[in-house]
A and B are shown apart, each in its own frame.
Chain A
Amino acid sequence: MNWITQPWPWYVAGPLIGLTVPALLILGNKTFGISSSLRHICAACMPAKIPFFQYNWKKESWNLLFVMGVLIGGFIATNFLANPDAIVISEVTQADLAALGIIDYTHLMPSDIFSWENLFTAKGLLFFVIGGFLVGFGTRYAGGCTSGHAIMGISALQWPSLVATMAFMLGGFLMTHVFLEPLMKIVGF
């Protein structure tokens, strides 16, 4: 049973994630896409007469159950199947991140950034508030995220999804290599 607690390699996790595509299609003619859940939450909770949120979100409640499942899955994996050791990250990355003040590898997320103490600080504003906003705004503007475009869209050989995926990657490279260091300096790292 050792393999369960060890981190799963990419060649196990990737195909399992890919299988979600046919699973959803066969279970109920559903197209894989997770960022849509955020839109359904808006449509359900605060539609505010905005045309973009006037649709039958109840018909899409399967998507909300799916993300609720993802949350529960995260809970199960972390509480019952967790790797007891610290996460193993490439040494080059560790050196790069140490220069930015990120040194704690005891959890999957760096406690130097993602802790409640940072909530009402410039760090929290950058990583939680601005970061989250960019994710929510950008995925909806792009019409999908890594699941809807990179996995579902490219799997169905749709070229607009390939364009979107290249834009995701370019945005990530820009943030990591151009903006991250100066932004982290500004917020006090």
Chain B
Amino acid sequence: MSVLIKEKDDANCVAPNLTKKKESGLELLKYLILGVLFGIVFVKAEIISWFRIQEMFRLQSFHMYGVIGSAIVTGIISIQLIKRFGIRSMHGEAIHIPKKEFRKGQIIGGLTFGLGWALTGACPGPLFAQIGSGFTVIIVTLLSAIAGTWVYGRFADKLPN
């Protein structure tokens, strides 16, 4: 039997599930609904567009910088409010955000992702929205991204980190 990695010990898991309460079935539907809303915003703000990503990297439009910048500002304010007022999760748990440790991978992997971002016009989120929007050939891009993740996992211990 394989040994399970404890999420808190796993530097590579950036979006760990820290809730202690076990959620199942219908309770998980709220994440699906949140995803649907998110996907609609992606398409309506044209974030999934390869053209918009080209505009961004060519510094020829403010649109994408405005989207990402105002998303970050909203996020910062929200987290500060959660901390200041000790807001708890719906299940009454204290909200916990894991600390990210610096690794070389954030630079090397980050550059690698950036190269791919400009080619595909998509980060992982928009890949799913592009497929939903009817650009079905992006299924190939998604499969290749899954393969890339797998290859990283296979050689993770041999890469500089």
Contacts and interface: CB of A to CB of B under 8 A. Distances in A.
A21 to B, nearest CB: 4
Nearest to B5: A55
Q: Is the interface of B mostly helix, strand, loop or mixed?
A: helix
B109 A143 contact: yes
Contacts of B105: 141-143
Contact of A73 (B58, B129, B142, B156): B129
27 contacts: A14-B67, A14-B68, A22-B81, A26-B89, A26-B95, A29-B89, A51-B5, A52-B152, A62-B17, A62-B31, A63-B15, A68-B35, A69-B35, A70-B129, A71-B132, A77-B42, A97-B51, A109-B49, A119-B140, A132-B116, A135-B116, A138-B112, A143-B106, A154-B75, A172-B115, A172-B118, A176-B118
Interface in B4-46: 4-5, 7, 10-21, 23, 28-46
B145 A133 contact: yes
B130 A65 contact: no
Q: Which bucket holds chain A's interface residue count?
A: 35 or more
Nearest to A179: B115
Q: Which bucket holds chain B's interface residue count?
A: 35 or more
Q: Is the interface of A mostly helix, strand, loop or mixed?
A: helix
Nearest to B139: A128
A15 B74 contact: yes
A30 interface: yes
Interface of B: 2-5, 7, 10-21, 23, 28-58, 60-76, 78-79, 81-82, 87, 89-91, 93, 95-103, 105-125, 127-138, 140-154, 156-157, 159
B120 A132 contact: yes
A79 to B, nearest CB: 8
Interface of A: 4, 7-39, 41-42, 46-56, 59-63, 65-79, 81-82, 87, 89-90, 92-93, 96-97, 105, 107-110, 113-116, 118-119, 124, 126-161, 163-177, 179-180
Contacts of A14: 45, 66-71, 73-74
Contact of B49 (A108, A134, A171): A108
